[in-house]
Amino acid sequence: MDLQIAGRCGLVTGASAGIGRGIALALGREGVRLAIAGRRFGVTEADRTADWRAVLARGDIDAVGMAVGPAQHHEIGLAAVARGLPAFIEKPPAP
């Protein structure tokens, strides 16, 4: 099927399993450039951190998706944008 969406950008949450994974795979086959989020992508205990500053300092981060408390959105979002990273904030930021 050609949906004529090749080269477009998309975000799929819940992409590690089920319908979210199916949607991500289908969009990928259509040539969509995807950002995906999910809870089960083989993250090891060594990869987990509560230090968001350390994550933003890494050189292999292309975008930031935040699912944190509302009080943290403002600071983390501003820091991500200051580094030139696209930031997906799922709640309005509050200073």
Average pLDDT over residues 62-73: 77
Could you tell me the pLDDT band of residue 74, with boundaries at 50, 70 and 90?
Answer: confident
Mean per-residue pLDDT, 26-40: 84
Question: What is the per-residue pLDDT for 71?
Answer: 79
Overall pTM > 0.75: no
Which pLDDT band, with edges at 50, 70 and 90, does 41 fall under? low
What phi-psi label fits residue 79: left (phi over 0), alpha (psi between -120 and 50 degrees) or beta?
Answer: alpha
| 48-69 mean pLDDT | 79
- The whole-angstrom separation of Cα 70 and Cα 95 is 9
